[in-house]
Amino acid sequence: MGAQNGKDLLIKLDMTGGGQFETIAGLRATRISFNAESVDVTSLESQGGWRELLGGAGVKSAAISGSGVFRDATTDERARQIFFDGEVPEFQVIIPDFGVVEGKFQVTAIEYAGSHDGEATYELSMASAGALSFTAL
C-alpha cells in the first residue's frame, strides 16, 4: 500500500437505522484504532519463565475519533441525537486501499469549541459496541 490522502479516511453514520450511510460532514481529522486485551496464562512451569498468552482470548475493541467544523446540519443533529439518546447505531469507516470496517459504535464524547476570531469546531469519540465486520477493498 502506497501513500494515501488523509481525507480519504471516512467515517460514515447510518442516518436512519436502515443502512443509509452518510459521511459525517466537516471532519478534518479522523482516526480508528483496534485493541485486543491479552490473557496471561503464565505459570511456574512456563518455559524459561517467559510470559505465555492465551490465543484467541480477551476482549477486542475499536475506537473511532474525528474532529472538524460544522458543515451539515443533518449529520450534526444525528450525532447529537445518538449521544443524548444513548443509541448504538451502525458506523462505517472507509480505510483507503485497505477496506471497510462496519459495526455498532456508541458516541462516548462530543466536544464543542470555538474562539472569538475563528470557526466553531467539534470532536467526536466513539467506542465499538459489538462485533465488527471487515470488507477488503
The string of pLDDT tens digits covering residues 53-63 is: 999 989 999 99
Q: How far apart are CA 32 and CA 92, in angstroms?
A: 11
What's 58's domain CATH number? 4.10.410
* Span of 7-11, 63-67, 103-107, 132-136 with lowest mean pLDDT: 7-11
Domain count, the chain: 1
Look at residue 86 and tell me if it is in a domain.
yes
51 pLDDT higher than 90: yes
- Model confidence, pTM: 0.84
Structural domain span for residue 72: 6-136
Look at residue 112 and tell me if it is in a domain.
yes
State the maximum Cα–Cα separation within the chain, in Å, rounded to a whole number: 65
Which residues 6+ apart lie within 8 Å of 115 measured at CB? none
The string of pLDDT tens digits covering residues 58-111 is: 999 999 999 998 887 888 888 889 999 999 999 999 998 899 999 999 999 999
Look at residue 1 and tell me if it is in a domain.
no
Look at residue 50 and tell me if it is in a domain.
yes
On whether the CB atoms of residues 58 and 38 are closer than 8 A, the answer is yes
Q: How far apart are CA 16 and CA 128, in angstroms?
A: 19
Which SS3 state, helix, strand or coil, does residue 48 take?
Answer: helix
Look at residue 40 and tell me if it is in a domain.
yes
